[in-house]
Chain A
Amino acid sequence: MFTSMTFASILPEILILTIGLLVLIFEPFWKEDQKRNAGWLTAGGLLIAMLLSMLFGRPGEPTEVLGGMIRFDWFGFFLKMLFMFAAAATALLLMDHEQVGKRGEAYVMLLAALIGMNLMASSADLVMLYLSIETASIPMYILAGFLVGDERSTEAGFKYFLYGTLASTVMLYGFSLVFGFSGSTNLYEIASALTAGSISPLLAFGVVSLIVVGLGFKVSIVPFHFWAPDVYQGAPTPVAGYLSTASKAAGFAVILRLFFIAFPEFTSTWTMILAVLAAISMTVGNLLALPQTNIKRLLAYSSISHAGYALIGAVAFSQFGAASVVFYMAAYIATNLLAFGLVMAFSRITGLEEVTDYAGLSRRNPLMGLMMLAAFLSLAGMPPFGGFVAKVFVFAAGVQANYTWLVIVGIINSIIGVYYYLNVLKYVYLYRLPGEDEENHPIPLTQSYTIALVVLVIGVILLGTVFGPFFNWSDAGALNLF
């Protein structure tokens, strides 16, 4: 029953758990000013865990382990590495957060959510899927409301929890019906039991809709997006960045695996639902981003529209489509973490979060201005940054699957998006502080921020220039879904 394969398949999770325990053991013995070292421990530990997993935890042929709960394949492995990278960057960004950085339990919550996301990417059973989704969500509720002394943060945690439990319960009702109709919880057995003739199309539509509610909440697509702007604004900024990247990518991993594997017979039903939601998400997300003045809310609406773009790849229902979604998530994780990291670095010194406050940033800290340029141009989908290549792949997958109308909606929306991204850069580069004395108001970056931000910038540029190997990995992962 337990072979070396079993341990290799959950090696990343075992290592993450070990890091969490180490943080819990060491943190109480550190003095107050040393406690931020928990961030170094988490980030360094995650890098070592990634290396060890790549050396000893590589999957071969897709196999089911732990009684069919986990599927050990490249799709899960590649996404796990992405989530661990995102968590390591988030830990570095958390370190210098005034209220959160010195609290060991924040890092433990981060790692607990990471275990949940890793399992979301690799679970092949409805029971495991539900358990991992909740393991990823519950620590995030706590992290969103972590600043108990801050009215916005408590409200963010409260709202995230209420929306989150409702969405996951509705999804669970859908799971229970799937179990009932197919008699099994394993995704592959569901696929063979649920053939087109066995349940009526209307029933299939209902069940898929119930499941889409929960997953749509996780990836924040319209109309399940109401929590996103409020939570991103209220939660500690690095947590908001983690929510908008790793958590969303984990949601997409579940969408791909669940719909591609368990419901291939009902493709027309779920692609129709997802295509409509993708079109609405892109449009509503972009239009609501236009009037935003708070940069975190702007990034929240932008993340809603990005979920819409990525969904085009899932709608395509092809190997190329799945690969394009995985690649999109890689580019999006690097880009959006960079954007949130810069917002964090800026508000840490100034305490301000409005777009207009960024006036003169290019003179106050030229490096940050440049990184801001990379992040926002990548979000807008400009070459040579990752966001451009990712959008090209997703749109190509859409055209290949005859969803030309959806791709046209996507292209029009990317043009709308350019407006508000460039608007932020306008303040960074063209406007100046009221007194024009920027040299007296520098914005220093601490060591951990410099490391995290520079690594993320390199990631954004690498994904936009030498994207070949990354796309090949995504493609190898996507192959395991068919």
Chain B
Amino acid sequence: MVPLSWYLTLAAALFSIGLFGVLVRRNAVAILLGVELMLNAVNINLVAFWRYSDALTSMGGQVFAIIVFAVAAAEVSVGLALVISAYRRRNTVIADELDMLKW
């Protein structure tokens, strides 16, 4: 069986790639993609930890993962609506160009 550490490494890598994307990309849609990668890393963590734990009968980890992606869907739909609303108003989805509010 594949050891648990492999899954955790994969999740950590995925999380880091997502975080890198969020911090580096300027396009709002790309930032959202980065956040989705990070959420998937969390799900891999949760399911892997659950599978390798002693308490397989308690569904804690799986329920947590299901709730995470349900919430992620709700979050992204609201987020895309806000991006569209900003785009209609300002004609851009580049985060740097939305800079009316500063200092």
Contacts and interface: CB of A to CB of B under 8 A. Distances in A.
A138 B89 CA distance: 21
A259 to B, nearest CB: 20
Given A172-B39, A176-B49, A138 B75 contact: yes
Given A141-B78, A161-B82, A165-B79, A179 B49 contact: yes
Contacts, number: 123
Interface in A134-162: 134, 138, 141-142, 145, 148-152, 154-159, 161-162
Given A141-B79, A154-B90, A234 B101 contact: yes
A154 B101 contact: no
A138 B41 CA distance: 21
B74 interface: yes
Nearest to B60: A185
Range, interface on chain B = 35 or more
Interface string A110-141: 00000000000000001100110010001001
Contact of A165 (B15, B75, B89): B75
A318 to B, nearest CB: 31
Contacts of B74: 134, 138
B98 interface: yes
Q: Is the interface of A mostly helix, strand, loop or mixed?
A: helix
B71 to A, nearest CB: 5
B83 interface: yes
Interface residues of A, number: 41
B68 interface: yes
A162 B28 contact: yes
B61 A145 contact: no
A180 B54 contact: no
Given A154-B85, A173-B41, 20 more contacts: A130-B64, A131-B67, A138-B78, A142-B81, A145-B86, A148-B89, A154-B82, A158-B98, A162-B95, A165-B75, A165-B79, A166-B35, A169-B38, A169-B42, A180-B8, A180-B48, A183-B49, A183-B55, A184-B60, A233-B101
15 contacts: A130-B64, A141-B79, A148-B88, A158-B28, A159-B98, A161-B79, A165-B35, A166-B38, A169-B18, A169-B38, A170-B38, A172-B39, A183-B49, A184-B58, A234-B100
